[in-house]
Amino acid sequence: MSVADTTRDSDSGLLTDIEQRTFEFFWERVNHRNGLMPDRWPAPSPCSITATGFALTAWPIGVERGWITRDQARDITLLALRFMDQLPQGEQPSGTSGYRGFFYHFLDVETGLRFGQSELSTADTSWLQLGMAFAQSWFNQENDSEKEIRALAQRLLDRTEWDWMQANSTGGKGNLVGLVPGEWLHSAQLEWI
């Protein structure tokens, strides 16, 4: 065996180990009562909707790698999407999870309601939606559960009013819902949104 082959095998083993540890991080820390993912660990923290979006992509990866079953991935994905679908949205500064289809950056990991004074976030909502879209495409079987995943993901994606955000994120209802003034126009993250 050549040095190049040994290095390649070593790199492959390292990457596999990192993949599995990353998956296990999500699987061990997700709230198995509602599918929300904490922002950080080991300190207690609110849910990050970005981390929840990443978790929605982790579950199918876990199936593909043989770390969990398709049924386990389907169950946790359904749990998260059902939970997010029923969360209240509205103009109130508390007691809601978001507004016009957008979610606050941080949610209480148990209730799913706005945590503290976190902002209504286009960037973090986008990461969550990318996870939803991935789940929607990966769960492609014609059984009731996977059809429900696709329908819930589509409903959550469709209710996000991007045209409203474009027109109102430079101030508008900022005091009511936590918009960051100028977020849409001035965000470096705009390129990937």
Q: Kindly state the tokens that stand for 41.
A: 């660990």
pLDDT at res. 178: 56
Residue 156 to residues 20, 28, 102, Cα–Cα distance (Å)? 29, 26, 9
Please tell me the pTM assigned to this model: 0.85
Contact 154, 169 (CB under 8 A): no
pLDDT at res. 11: 84
pLDDT at res. 179: 58
pLDDT at res. 149: 98
pLDDT at res. 166: 81
pLDDT at res. 10: 76
pLDDT, mean of each 10-residue run, the chain (193 residues): 63 91 97 97 94 98 97 98 98 94 97 95 93 98 98 97 80 45 47 48
